[in-house]
Amino acid sequence: MKKILENKLAFFGFVIVSLLAAIAILAPLISPYDPSRIDIGNILASPSRQHLFGTDQLGRDIFSRMIYGSRISLSIGFVSVGIATLIGVCLGSLAGYYGGKADTVISRFTDMMLCFPTIFLILAVISVIGPNIYNIMIIIGMTGWMGTARLIRAEILSLKKREFIEAARAVGASNFRIVTKHLIPNAISPVIVSATLGVAAAILVESSLSFLGLGVQPPTPSWGNMLADGKSVLGVGWWLMLFPGLSILITVLGYNLLGEGIRDLTRSRSK
């Protein structure tokens, strides 16, 4: 934490990420209105004291919907990256530690997955199984593990010949213990950086899917479907797209800055 506070990029990203997490957790307390509350008398009301970010075509408060939308976007980001990281660490560890046929099979499967354009693969799967928040989490996670697998494989290939691994074998440590207690903890730094940046990428993917109508379905608010709602009334309700768009921009910027800052810290530590 001390190093993060000393690194300007990491600190700025940490502040943004912390504020967003606090907003998502405290949404019921800080939201001035029910995000699904329809007010026919305030349809497309411009930003004012009563409605800080204006209202949409049904009179729903944009500010409240954005606060609750942060929960959806951050949940999808964290859960999908958690799934991707778990799969990537498991497959990358197996490939790097055992080598031989296991490495060949896993590496070729990873290369095959990388050949598919991720967004089109996600669109194809969602069109078959249907769009909802749980499917989106699982699909983004199961199509985003390849980079983590390559990272952990490369780290383990360089670590498994080190003296402390030979010492662990000499005292009779099992393969499972060597991988989980010695190799993965020492290879996890680049994975943490990749996961931090992956949250930003997952939020962008979710927003894109929701904008296309294949993500989180109304009336559940997400920043992506709020952008889609504002598309049809952009000429008279500019605030419907401006504020959700800024939220996505600031969130992605925060996670990218935090990830870059952590990367700088891990590089300086390794030196």
33-66 pLDDT per residue, tens = 888 888 888 888 888 888 889 888 888 999 999 9
- In the chain, domain spans: 2-32+61-270
The dihedral formed by the CA atoms of 25, 28, 32 and 38, expressed in degrees to the nearest 10: 120
- DSSP bridge pairs for 55: 61
Three-state DSSP at 55 gives: strand
Pick from 113, 112, 140: nearest CA to 125: 140
Identify which has the larger pLDDT, 265 or 89. Answer: 89
- CA distances 194 to 20, 81, 108, 200, Å, are 20, 9, 21, 10
Kindly indicate the confidence band of residue 169, based on its pLDDT and cuts at 50, 70 and 90.
confident
Q: Please state, in angstroms and rounded to a whole number, the distance separating the CA atoms of residues 217 and 241.
A: 17
pTM attached to this predicted model:
0.86
Q: What average pLDDT does the chain have?
A: 86
Q: What is the pLDDT of residue 267?
A: 66
> Is the preceding omega at residue 219 within 30 degrees of 0, hence cis?
yes
Rounded CA separation 192/263 (Å): 9
Homologous superfamily in CATH for domain 2-32+61-270: MetI-like (1.10.3720.10)
pLDDT tens digits for range 228-257: 888 888 778 888 889 999 999 999 999 988
Which residues make Cβ contacts (< 8 Å) with residue 75, sequence separation at least 6?
24, 133, 137
